[in-house]
Chain A
């Protein structure tokens, strides 16, 4: 089932950058699919996001 409009609206209103908003939607879709092994999926996504952010931050500084 698609994530409800009211939740999507609230995510859009959150005071975080677009990448984090996307990550939030992905996490909710994972929950909706009823994933059993959530830990490894969550960890992988969070690690990827943190690494990407670090690269982006360095890129901006350079």
Chain B
């Protein structure tokens, strides 16, 4: 079952006062349900755990002012005594029981208005680890090693992938957050170690090359030129990434605007048609690319055939004429006749008669009359068929060309119609009477949409230009690297330095290649798991296509027609996507960590609650899930499922709201 939170113990902590809350699973699942009214300690439970682990209440409201010390204790406090606030989180994994203990001592003072104030004094954080096997099996670990243990189990960089607030999904797939996610995933997979090694080796490589350059002016010149090219390549790569990032953002906005337009009933049909036409236009662009390839192949093939066509026809004509005149194939073997003349003293190999003078003269005449040798004859026969094929092909040039032109015209005509219709739809939507629907300013939305489309097209163009320039510079870079190697070989006098340089280059190459493979594998793994879990969780089976995660860890959901629809997901679907991604990150991190969710179904619409509750129960068969519900959220349909499989923990606040009076 992986890592499990077994118990959270409180001492004088906020409204929990002094209590132990135990989370128990069973043989079939590890699902714990915790029910508390708003304001009675639901989110405080989440805050207590994060305070214990990270020394920070991660889910606290901005205006929170109450002290950590329980208010009932504070009111009764004596100024001469120190009061501890402590939270312990006990977890269990395959081979140990681990308890995280954080405590903070408070001294209480009475202010001039009579109110009591708690002032924090020294704090302590320790981890107690008890091995399940062995004799000397308990150790107490203090800071900073204790923080390292926290990092191993609940990486603080991605704390909200373990302690999840269902109400705060709005920013879950935020761009800035995806960068943090990427960084944390790289941390988990130790990619940062590789990145640092590459960075440090890069610096040393540069210094070593400089040292070598001092002994060889040519080397230095090439090195400088290469550094210049390297910088330009970096510039192009960054520019391309910038345009791509901007287009991702614009596509997201476009999705949102398109969704907005779809909400206006009278133009929904037009908007749907526009999206269909847009898809058609994308398909046409694909066909145009294929046609361009076909045209290139056609021209390459016919450039050779047509340029040699006169010679081909002439040669074929000559072969045909010789065949007609009987010269091909020759009736007499020229080599045999020549052999007979050369060995005139021997007997004829055919009739075994002596060859006399008259026979010799006859043979010589025959030889003179033969214009084609057997070898030439065979060669001409051999090339005749391919020549005929080439000539035939050449005859088909016009028809094939016409066919290609017709295809091109047909595609162009479809493009024209499609673009014309898109323009008409754009105008119709743009001129839509604003007063008919007051909620959405359609002309303005349409203008914004048009601006976004124009910007996306311009960015695509810039990406293409930069990519072309990048390719040129990469070729230059490869050439300069080869030139450097040549110059390096000339400078034998500084042998060891060169060996060091060559070793550094080899190390850099290996680390780069490992980095590329690990990051690619990791991203792909998370993408595949997210896709699988999302499709498993979601009950609309015919709406969604692939879920993808790009290199910057932006998650996108496509529909069956391959339209991006991340921006159009309902709150329930967003929640399913967030769960899927969270669980994928857990899996990829290699540790089966628990998931504590505040308001797990808070944003799920009524009709989908039972489905989502069932999906989460399925997940709890593989990993611990602790859900913090309000009584309203723990609705009848959820209760029907969960009451059968778990004993919900309910907390009740005291009348004066100073402490939790009852846990049952």
Once A42-B200, A43-B204, A50-B500 are accepted as A-B contacts, the answer to whether A16 and B506 lie under 8 Å apart by CB is: yes
Contact with B196, one of A4, A31, A39, A53 (Cβ below 8 angstroms):
A31
Closest CB of chain A to B506's CB: distance in Å? 6
Once A1-B152, A38-B200 are accepted as A-B contacts, the answer to whether A47 and B510 lie under 8 Å apart by CB is: no
* Distance, CA A39 to CA B568, complexed state (A): 51
* Distance, CA A6 to CA B191, complexed state (A): 10
Is there a chain A Cβ closer than 8 Å to B592's Cβ?
no
Is there a chain A Cβ closer than 8 Å to B514's Cβ?
yes
List 18 A-B residue pairs with CB atoms under 8 Å apart, sorted by A's residue number. A1-B152, A4-B189, A4-B190, A4-B590, A7-B193, A7-B518, A14-B513, A16-B510, A27-B197, A28-B193, A28-B197, A31-B197, A32-B193, A39-B200, A43-B204, A46-B204, A46-B504, A54-B495
Is there a chain A Cβ closer than 8 Å to B432's Cβ?
no
By beta carbon, the residue of chain A nearest B190 is A4
By beta carbon, the residue of chain B nearest A5 is B590
Q: Mark B180-218, 1 if CB is under 8 A from A, else 0.
A: 000000000110011011001101100000000000000
Q: In A11-48, which residues have CB < 8 Å from any B CB?
A: 11, 14, 16, 20, 23-24, 27-28, 31-32, 38-39, 42-43, 46-47
Q: Which 5 A-B pairs have the closest CB atoms?
A: A10-B514, A50-B499, A31-B193, A50-B500, A14-B510
Interface size on B, residues (CB 8 A): 28
| Chain B residues with CB below 8 A from A49, complex form | 503
| Chain B residues with CB below 8 A from A11, complex form | 510, 514
| Chain B residues with CB below 8 A from A46, complex form | 204, 500, 503-504
By beta carbon, the residue of chain A nearest B499 is A50
| Chain A residues with CB below 8 A from B517, complex form | 10
* Distance, CA A48 to CA B370, complexed state (A): 79
**Given A4-B190, A51-B496, 20 new contacts (CB under 8 A):** A1-B152, A3-B190, A3-B193, A6-B518, A7-B194, A16-B510, A20-B507, A24-B507, A27-B201, A28-B194, A31-B196, A32-B193, A39-B204, A42-B200, A42-B204, A43-B204, A46-B204, A46-B503, A46-B504, A47-B496
Contact A53 B499 (CB under 8 A): yes
* Distance, CA A20 to CA B201, complexed state (A): 14
| Chain B residues with CB below 8 A from A43, complex form | 204
Is there a chain A Cβ closer than 8 Å to B632's Cβ?
no
List chain A positions with a Cβ less than 8 A from chain B: 1, 3-4, 6-7, 10-11, 14, 16, 20, 23-24, 27-28, 31-32, 38-39, 42-43, 46-47, 49-51, 53-54
Closest CB of chain B to A45's CB: distance in Å? 10
| Chain B residues with CB below 8 A from A47, complex form | 496, 500
| Chain A residues with CB below 8 A from B200, complex form | 31, 38-39, 42
| Chain B residues with CB below 8 A from A42, complex form | 200-201, 204
* Distance, CA A53 to CA B504, complexed state (A): 13
Is there a chain A Cβ closer than 8 Å to B558's Cβ?
no
| Chain A residues with CB below 8 A from B189, complex form | 4, 6-7
* Distance, CA A39 to CA B194, complexed state (A): 16
By beta carbon, the residue of chain B nearest A27 is B197
List chain B positions with a Cβ less than 8 A from chain A: 148, 152, 189-190, 193-194, 196-197, 200-201, 203-204, 495-496, 499-500, 503-504, 506-507, 510-511, 513-514, 517-518, 521, 590
By beta carbon, the residue of chain A nearest B521 is A6
| Chain A residues with CB below 8 A from B503, complex form | 20, 46, 49-50, 53
By beta carbon, the residue of chain B nearest A34 is B196
| Chain B residues with CB below 8 A from A10, complex form | 514, 517-518
| Chain A residues with CB below 8 A from B506, complex form | 16, 20
* Distance, CA A20 to CA B502, complexed state (A): 12
* Distance, CA A3 to CA B201, complexed state (A): 18
By beta carbon, the residue of chain B nearest A47 is B500
Contact with B511, one of A24, A38, A50 (Cβ below 8 angstroms):
A24
| Chain A residues with CB below 8 A from B203, complex form | 39
| Chain A residues with CB below 8 A from B499, complex form | 50, 53-54
* Distance, CA A4 to CA B534, complexed state (A): 28
| Chain A residues with CB below 8 A from B504, complex form | 46
By beta carbon, the residue of chain A nearest B191 is A7
* Distance, CA A49 to CA B496, complexed state (A): 11
* Distance, CA A23 to CA B503, complexed state (A): 10
| Chain A residues with CB below 8 A from B511, complex form | 24
Closest CB of chain B to A41's CB: distance in Å? 9
* Distance, CA A3 to CA B203, complexed state (A): 23
* Distance, CA A24 to CA B506, complexed state (A): 10
* Distance, CA A12 to CA B424, complexed state (A): 61
Closest CB of chain B to A38's CB: distance in Å? 5
| Chain A residues with CB below 8 A from B496, complex form | 47, 50-51, 54
Closest CB of chain B to A22's CB: distance in Å? 12
Contact B514 A7 (CB under 8 A): yes
By beta carbon, the residue of chain A nearest B152 is A1
| Chain B residues with CB below 8 A from A50, complex form | 496, 499-500, 503
Once A1-B152, A43-B204, A46-B204 are accepted as A-B contacts, the answer to whether A14 and B193 lie under 8 Å apart by CB is: no
Contact B204 A24 (CB under 8 A): no
* Distance, CA A6 to CA B194, complexed state (A): 12
| Chain B residues with CB below 8 A from A28, complex form | 190, 193-194, 197
| Chain B residues with CB below 8 A from A6, complex form | 189, 518, 521
* Distance, CA A54 to CA B518, complexed state (A): 32
Contact with A14, one of B190, B495, B514 (Cβ below 8 angstroms):
B514
| Chain B residues with CB below 8 A from A7, complex form | 189-190, 193-194, 514, 518
Closest CB of chain B to A32's CB: distance in Å? 6
Q: Which of A1, A6, A49 has the most CB atoms of chain B within a 10 A radius of its CB?
A: A6
By beta carbon, the residue of chain B nearest A53 is B499
* Distance, CA A31 to CA B197, complexed state (A): 7
By beta carbon, the residue of chain A nearest B201 is A42
Closest CB of chain A to B511's CB: distance in Å? 7
* Distance, CA A24 to CA B514, complexed state (A): 11
